[in-house]
Structure 1
Amino acid sequence: MFLIIRWAGRTGLIAAFGALAACSSLQSSDSFLGVITPYRIEVVQGNVVTREMAAAVRPGMSRTQVRDILGSPLLTDIFHADRWDYMFTIRRQGAEPQRRRVTAYFDGEQLARVEADELPSEQEFVDSIDTFKRRGDPPKLALTEEQLKALPPPAPRPAEEAPRAAPARTYPPLEPSGG
């Protein structure tokens, strides 16, 4: 009897380890059996800083002007009061993860310089996170001359009627009249 319980305990322990190993391998893959793809949360952290935004920032600008263009920095450090760090990361299902860093250095209240990773333009950034890419040419919204000629002529408009008189009032006016 003791041997049976001991054997069942070992079998259960092996089954539990096998299940744990299977769970960890499922979490690391993008799909289950190549069919089911789990939902992944879109994680966006920090400020998007594009090439156009970085080009608008010039040395000599005040901290307020820099904040107006780039937004509030993700990191300000009391030990480095002359430095603002802008970090940006995004993980979106169906798109490559992105990570960028921009650092603004100040001399007092004036911007001294900006250091940045390679920044995309606004359109390049939008294209990189667009997971609903359209295929083929966009549909044409204009008719050709032949298609315009093939359309039926517009229906004639009814003759415009004379303006109607206002309906007679059945209630007293809101404001007293004259005197």
Structure 2
Amino acid sequence: MSAIHLRRLGLLLAVVGGSVSLGACSSIGDSTRSALYSITPYKVEVVQGNFVSKEQVEALKPGMTRQQVREILGTSLLNDVFHSNRWDYVFTIRRQGVEPQQRRLTVYFNGELLERFDGDSMPSEEEFVATLDTRARSGKVPKLEASEDELKKFDPPKDTKDAKAEEPPKPLPPLPPSYPPLESGR
């Protein structure tokens, strides 16, 4: 057989194989199809913006300077060119299996001083960290102490311990009389 005939035969086999495969796909049952749809790819958790805690909002007081507000809340995510006396802090988190969360805080200035602020109710730092931890809690606290019997399992055997104690340390090799120069002389 020539090379052209082999290529045509290979192409014919590929077409027939593809047709058979497609025919097999149409006969997949509903249970198999639903199992395939239930498998979802991993989605990366996306955290965007400035997280502002309840404690940070409570530290804000009217009359503070812009620098003092920046030290408490950080640099704002949005600085509007048309509203220079307004800073917007926006925080968004998207996680697999959980509704996306978005929180906003807007800070208003009168010149260089904080006039007022408003926005969503913010979680405390502790509450926010608790929402991030998705591990299942068993409720059982692991035992963190070992008894004397448990510690004895890790003691080295007596004969090797005594042999090491009796063995004198080996002397270090002598130092060379002089060290070679770091740079070669030119």
TM-score (norm: length of structure 1): 0.63
Matching residue's letter, 2:148: L
Do residues 40 (structure 1) and 46 (structure 2) align? no
Deviations, residues 70-90 of structure 1 (Å, cap 9, x unaligned): 122121112211110111111
1:1-179 paired onto structure 2 within 5 Å: 35-143=38-146, 147-148=147-148, 151-152=151-152, 159=165, 167-172=173-178
Distance 1:161 1:68, change over 3 A: farther
| % identical aligned pairs | 51
- Alignment RMSD (CA, Å): 3.0
Unaligned runs of 5+ in 2: 1-33, 182-186
Distance 1:159 1:47, change over 3 A: same
Whose helix proportion is higher, 1 or 2? 2
- Three-state SS of the structure 1 residue aligned to 2:41 is coil
- Three-state SS of the structure 2 residue aligned to 1:124 is helix
How many Å separate the matches in 2 of 1:42 and 1:168? 59
In the TM superposition, residue 127 of structure 1 has moved relative to its aligned partner by 1.4
Unaligned runs of 5+ in 1: 1-30
Distance 1:37 1:124, change over 3 A: same
What count of residue pairs does the alignment treat as equivalent? 142
- Three-state SS of the structure 1 residue aligned to 2:92 is strand
How many Å separate the matches in 1 of 2:77 and 2:151? 58
TM-score (norm: length of structure 2): 0.61
